[in-house]
């Protein structure tokens, strides 16, 4: 496999543990074991890393921009402490009924990241944990991988994803996906 110039990551369920009740405070942001080191390995291999994440808790009024930025700062510091670098962060603050162009499964955040990173879709890979992630990657013509570290039904997510991308590869977590990518 030719290495991508950039890897775009979903946040919750890929980098950190997800919660059906949202991540609403910095102390709730807990990295999945090996995820920060995986990002550092991508950075060390010269691959740009970006984050594309739905964050509807903002639009729902469940947390404010200051708390969100505190969660984001904790994540960035944790990634940097392991030697990783994030080139771009795109997030959608809208709810599912807001009619925006950025919320996954739409490709808005992926398109934004490709533009900021100055690469085309063929040079990127999206790693996510949900069908929305795969749908957004597919809509942006970006290759995708799945990880099973999110809180959804991983088998059902994989089955739905294969309907869009028959050859999609699936791994236990981000560390395993990066192992396969860099092998």
| Residue 1 banded pLDDT, cuts 50, 70, 90 | low
Q: Which residues contact 180 (CB under 8 A, 6 or more apart)?
A: 169, 171
**Domain 6-182 classification at class level:** alpha beta
Q: What is the pLDDT of residues 17-47, one digit of tens each?
A: 999 899 999 999 999 999 999 999 999 999 9
8: its two tokens? 């775009």
Note the helical H segments in the chain: 35-44, 56-59, 65-81, 108-117, 131-139, 154-164, 174-182
Residue from 12, 111, 129, 133 carrying the catalytic annotation: 12
179 is catalytic: no
Q: Is 123 left (phi over 0), alpha (psi -120 to 50) or beta?
A: alpha
3-state DSSP assignment of residue 18: coil
Helices (H) and strands (E) in the chain, counts: 7, 6
Q: Nearest CA to 89 among 79, 101, 97? A: 79
Q: What is the pLDDT of residues 63-107, one digit of tens each?
A: 999 999 999 999 999 999 999 999 999 999 999 899 999 999 999
129 is catalytic: no
Q: Examine the pLDDT at 5 and tell me if it is beyond 90.
A: yes
Q: What is the pLDDT of residues 111-167, one digit of tens each?
A: 999 999 999 999 999 999 999 999 999 999 999 999 999 988 999 999 999 999 999
Q: Are 121 and 127 in contact (CB under 8 A)?
A: no
151-155, Cβ contacts within 8 angstroms, sequence gap of 24 or more:
151/13, 151/18, 151/19, 151/20, 152/13
pLDDT at position 2 is 85
φ, ψ for residue 31 (rounded to 5)?
A: -70, 145
pLDDT at position 33 is 98
């Amino acid at each position: 496999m030719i290495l991508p110039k950039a890897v775009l990551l979903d946040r919750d369920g890929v980098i950190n543990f997800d919660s059906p009740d949202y991540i609403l405070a910095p102390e709730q942001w807990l990295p999945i074991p090996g995820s920060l080191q995986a990002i550092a390995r991508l950075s060390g291999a010269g691959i740009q890393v970006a984050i594309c994440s739905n964050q509807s808790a903002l639009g729902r009024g469940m947390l404010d921009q200051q708390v969100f930025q505190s969660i984001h700062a904790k994540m960035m510091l944790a990634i940097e402490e392991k030697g990783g670098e994030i080139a771009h962060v795109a997030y959608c603050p809208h709810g599912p009924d807001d009619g925006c162009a950025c919320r996954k499964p739409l490709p808005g955040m992926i398109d934004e990241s490709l533009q900021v990173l100055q690469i085309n879709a063929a040079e990127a890979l999206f790693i996510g944990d949900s069908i929305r992630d795969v749908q957004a990657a597919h809509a942006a013509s970006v290759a995708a991988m799945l990880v099973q570290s999110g809180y959804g039904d991983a088998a059902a997510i994989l089955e739905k994803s294969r309907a869009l991308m028959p050859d999609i590869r699936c791994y236990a977590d981000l560390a395993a996906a990066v192992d396969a990518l860099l092998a």
